[in-house]
């Protein structure tokens, strides 16, 4: 009979400080009777278990490193170091070490009291270390704890009690600080999970009831009072307010929201009372998807991490072979003293442990991805973070990326001899009346201008309106046949043919990056309308900042005509452009750049640009908040639809690469310097421990710096 499939459960793990510990914990959990499979993710500090097991069984499996386990969603609080028992034991061990050292200065060598204090310091500070070290020794598993145990016992055996106690203290204090630092790095993502309130006020038959947010269903009504967090994604049906969306989009200024507008779980209501219709259940909210994508990103290995893992795989056996040679060869062939060369071999094994090297990349990736998420930039994996740091070229879609995608009327040019008196031309009333029933974006621009000028649209009526596909509109206004649309259409429809003044005005508008529309009635051109998409603010400054950050080439890809593209490219301070492109042409352009060996980032709106975003080295989508297409299409999403986050992203990526290189170089440099001291016999055990644990602690602190950089601080320096 086929065994039924076991439900997979996820747990949070507190206390994981090294990838090797994660591997061992996974094996220990899989040895629990009833467990079919276990997976430990070191970067996220999570455990997934298939099969039957209790929380007590799991913590027993992790007792080798004093690991604590809790179900996902009920995260353990990291707390301060002073609330950590292991840290307190370490401090007491240090006090005993200090007291023994002081007594040792005033008493004969090997006096009872200093040795006793050193011994108690070793036992108290190294309790968990020895327990796991002996287990590993029996199993012939030579990890850091095994080597440390052998080294400390060896030091005691040859009478170096003080050095043994110092080694224990340094190792224990470093482990406690490493644990605390790693938990702080991981907490950046866990803090996202705490943004959405657990409870919500549901409206039912005009009565308020408090329920868990997770039980809310689509179309339920939720009431959110001023100052409260919004518990669910939804649409405002009553009320207006300013919403602090910084948790989702990174925007520092509250966004005005009115009936019909979308709101997100985890954002904060301002001054108004809101009634909201639920549009997404708790597990499908934008915040929930961000958390899922960021956690998945943290679990994926970046290229640097994969390289380090491969390096460590060959490095560790090689070092063990060298240590064995140091222990055996000098005494056997050159008359060396066994105790001296065993000591040197043990020191080599301790200092050569690759902990700092292995941890150098993941701690940096975790911190950077977590910080980016808090600032409204969603990075889907360490590989994309590193690739962004190597970008040389950035290509931009124009509409919806460099511009807002909202055309506006910029020019009204009379060609019918009507005198300019500062008011709206009379012929524009006809154009507005013709566009009243159209859904075209350019029609929206004309109607917005008409509304702004206070034209009474109810009294503006045309007859026999019909669309001429791809060209414009035809209608009758006060018994006159009128055409509104492209200048090309007017040239086709009018008996007088090409109008010289019309051509001159159209070319002038095109040279300014604007779209030209013309109106003709009763066979004569009345006027020309200039329309242009609204540019995003600060685009020029953004391009300058990108150039300062090492982006060698910027490029605009657009379907506009050559003259419009040329004018806009110049105005936006973008070096290169490609015009009159269909979607497949954009894709071909990106492919050609990559085939020439360039690292190309594509910035688009995440909907129409999906193929191009997928083909680029890194695809960066605009406006991911509430947009499923943007969240799915790109490798990186700017959640606030804010191009000013792009320099921050490039800077953070380059900074991450720099810190990863610093960490790798620092860990290797410390190792090689310590190894060099072995040859003249200057490396002691406590120096070996200090070199190893010190390097690990330093790279951890260096990596966590990436979690404290603010996007606005960066851009203000370059604006």
Paired with 601 in beta bridges are 394, 618
What region, left, alpha or beta, does residue 260 occupy, with left being phi > 0 and alpha being psi -120 to 50 degrees? left
Please give the DSSP secondary-structure letter assigned to residue 398.
Answer: I
The token pair that represents 398 in the structure block: 């124009």
Residues in contact with 48: Cβ distance below 8 Å, sequence separation at least 6, in sequence order: 8, 9, 10, 11, 38, 39, 41
Question: Is the separation of the CB atoms in 671 and 353 below 8 Å?
Answer: no
- Whether 211 contacts 199, CB under 8 Å: yes
Structure tokens at 493: 């429809």
Compute the distance between CA of residue 498 and CA of residue 506 in angstroms, rounded to an integer.
12
| Three-class HEC string of 401-457 | HHEEEEEEEEEEEECCCCCCCCCCCHHHHHHHHHHCCCCCHHHHHHHHHHHHCCCCH
Complete DSSP assignment for 84-145: -HHHHHHHHHHHHHHHHHHHHHHS-TT-HHHHHHHHHHHHHHTHHHHHHHHHHHHTT--SHH
Beta-bridge partner residues of 528: 413, 518
Helical spans, DSSP H, in 441-535:
441-452, 487-493, 500-511
- Which H or E element spans position 364? helix 355-374
- What's the CA gap between 351 and 356, in Å, rounded? 10
CA dihedral 659, 169, 21, 179 (to 10 degrees): -50
Output the DSSP codes for 236-287: EEE--EEEE-HHHH--SSPEEE-TT-EE-TT-EE-SS-EEEEE-S-GGGSHH
Q: Which of 65, 143, 244, 397 is catalytic?
A: 397
Q: List beta partners, residue 467.
A: 473
- Residue 672 CA to residue 67 CA, distance in Å, equals 32
- The answer to whether the beta carbons of residues 48 and 39 sit under 8 Å apart is yes
**For this structure, is 397 an active site residue?**
yes
CA distance 526 to 425: 10
Interaxial angle between packed helices 144-157 and 338-351, expressed in degrees from 0 to 180 and rounded to the nearest 10 = 150
Give the whole-angstrom CA distance, residue 202 versus residue 206.
Answer: 9
User: Measuring CA to CA, which residue among 487, 545, 540, 549 is closest to residue 518?
Assistant: 487
Q: Which residues contact 438 (CB under 8 A, 6 or more apart)?
A: 467, 473
Question: Tokens 């980032």 map to which residue?
Answer: 601
Q: How far, in Å, CA of 386 to CA of 371, rounded?
A: 15
Edge-first strand order for the sheet with 463-468 is 403-414, 524-535, 515-521, 480-485, 472-477, 463-468
| Rounded CA separation 35/110 (Å) | 51
Residue 216 to residues 259, 281, 529, 608, 629, Cα–Cα distance (Å): 20, 6, 50, 33, 24
Tokens at 627, concatenated: 């947009």
Catalytic residues: 397
């Amino acid at each position: 009979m086929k065994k039924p499939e076991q439900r997979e459960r996820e747990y949070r793990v507190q206390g994981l400080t090294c990838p090797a510990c994660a591997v061992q914990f996974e094996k220990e959990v899989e040895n629990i009777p009833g467990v079919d499979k276990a997976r430990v993710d070191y970067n996220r500090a999570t455990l997934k278990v298939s099969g039957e097991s209790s929380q007590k069984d799991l913590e027993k499996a992790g007792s080798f490193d004093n690991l604590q386990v809790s179900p996902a969603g009920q995260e353990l609080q990291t707390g301060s170091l002073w609330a950590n028992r292991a840290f307190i034991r370490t401090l007491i061990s240090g006090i005993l070490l200090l007291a023994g050292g002081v007594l040792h200065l005033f008493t004969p060598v090997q006096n009872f009291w200093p040795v006793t204090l050193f011994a108690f310091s070793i036992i108290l500070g190294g309790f968990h270390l020895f327990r796991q070290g002996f287990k590993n020794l029996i199993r012939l598993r030579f990890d850091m704890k095994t080597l440390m145990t052998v080294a400390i016992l060896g030091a005691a055996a040859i009478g170096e009690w003080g050095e043994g106690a110092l080694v224990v203290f340094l190792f224990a204090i470093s482990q406690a600080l490493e644990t605390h630092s790693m938990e702080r790095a991981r907490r950046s993502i866990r803090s996202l999970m705490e943004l959405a309130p657990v409870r919500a006020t549901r409206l039912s038959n005009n009565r308020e009831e408090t329920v868990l947010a997770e039980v809310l269903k689509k179309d339920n009504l939720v009431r959110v009072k001023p100052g409260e967090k919004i518990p669910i994604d939804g649409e405002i049906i009553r009320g207006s307010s300013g919403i602090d969306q910084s948790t989702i989009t990174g925007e520092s200024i509250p966004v005005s929201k009115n009936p019909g507008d979308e709101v997100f779980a985890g954002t904060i209501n301002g001054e108004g009372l809101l009634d909201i219709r639920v549009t997404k259940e708790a597990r499908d909210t934008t915040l929930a998807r961000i958390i899922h994508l960021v956690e998945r990103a943290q679990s994926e290995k970046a290229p640097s991490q994969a390289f380090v893992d491969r390096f460590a795989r060959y490095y560790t056996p090689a070092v063990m072979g060298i240590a064995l040679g140091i222990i055996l060869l000098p005494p056997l062939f050159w008359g060396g003293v066994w105790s001296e060369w065993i000591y040197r071999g043990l020191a080599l094994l301790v200092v050569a442990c690759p902990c700092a090297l292995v941890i150098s990349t993941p701690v940096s990736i975790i911190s950077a991805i977590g910080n980016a998420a808090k600032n409204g930039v969603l990075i889907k994996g360490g590989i994309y973070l590193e690739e962004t740091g190597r970008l040389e070229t950035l290509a931009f879609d124009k509409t919806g990326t460099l511009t807002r995608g909202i055309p506006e009327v910029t020019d009204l040019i009379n060609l019918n001899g009507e005198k300019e008196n500062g008011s709206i031309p009379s012929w524009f009333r006809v154009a507005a009346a013709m566009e009243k029933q159209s859904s075209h974006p350019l029609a929206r621009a004309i109607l917005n201008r008409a509304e702004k000028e206070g034209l009474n649209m109810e009294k503006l009526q045309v007859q026999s309106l019909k669309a001429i596909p791809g060209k414009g509109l035809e209608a009758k206004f006060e018994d006159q046949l009128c055409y509104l649309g492209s200048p090309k259409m007017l040239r086709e429809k009018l008996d007088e043919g090409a109008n010289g003044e019309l051509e001159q005005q159209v070319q002038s508008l095109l040279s300014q990056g604007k779209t030209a529309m013309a109106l003709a009635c009763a066979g004569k051109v009345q006027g020309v309308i200039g329309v242009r998409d609204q540019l995003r603010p600060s685009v020029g400054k953004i391009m300058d900042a990108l150039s300062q950050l090492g982006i060698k080439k910027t490029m605009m890809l657009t379907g506009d005509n050559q003259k419009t593209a040329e004018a806009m490219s110049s105005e936006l301070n973008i070096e290169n452009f490609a015009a009159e492109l269909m979607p497949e042409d954009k894709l071909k352009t990106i492919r050609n750049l990559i085939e020439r060996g360039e690292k190309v980032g594509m910035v688009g709106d995440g909907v129409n640009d999906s193929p191009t975003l997928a083909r680029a080295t890194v695809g960066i989508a605009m406006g991911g908040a509430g947009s499923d297409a943007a969240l799915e299409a790109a490798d990186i999403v700017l959640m606030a639809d804010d191009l000013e986050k792009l320099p921050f992203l490039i800077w953070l990526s380059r900074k991450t690469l720099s810190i990863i290189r610093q960490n790798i170089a620092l860990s290797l440099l410390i190792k090689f310097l310590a190894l060099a001291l072995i040859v003249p016999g200057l490396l002691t055990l406590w120096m070996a421990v200090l070199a190893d644990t010190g390097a690990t602690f330093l790279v951890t602190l260096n990596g966590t710096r990436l979690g404290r950089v603010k996007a606005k601080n960066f851009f203000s320096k370059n604006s």
